[in-house]
Amino acid sequence: MKMSNTIAVQVANLLNTQNQLTVMYSKEDILEKQENYILRLGENETVIGVVEVKKIQWYQYEIDHLSVHPDARRQQIGTSLLQEAESRAKELGGKIAQCTIRVGNEASETLFKKRGFVATVSFLNTQNGNKVTVFQKVLVKA
């Protein structure tokens, strides 16, 4: 289903307000890659959760900026988005899923660890000064 301009604006706003981004998203950015996004909508078609799943390598998919609106937290929305993101990556042929989480973002670290993601490496993002950790999960065992 084609994403509406209204939904794309809401997705961009949620991503921009819930993440410490170096480059802000626009409606146009969201619409250009709308097939990558998994959404959760609340009342009146309001975006309450979003995650992006994008191909990095033939075997690897990035799960990016899983975000839940503050008013919708603690309702398992993040968990369901992550489960769906993993399923989509696997359906598209992914063997490994990865995400990058800002060190100290305990909610995200806890969620991804509960789903079997393992911290691999940490580094300093020199663009924004944040220390981040790459988490990975094998989707298809050898």
pLDDT of residue 39: 97
Domains within the chain, CATH numbers bracketed: 5-138 (3.40.630.30)
Segments of the chain scoring below 50 in pLDDT:
none
Question: Residue 70: is it exposed, middle or buried by C-beta count within 10 angstroms (0-12/13-18/19+)?
Answer: exposed
pLDDT of residue 110: 96
pLDDT of residue 22: 86
DSSP letters for 59-107: TEEEEEEEEE-GGGTTSSHHHHHHHHHHHHHHHTT-SEEEEEEETT-HH
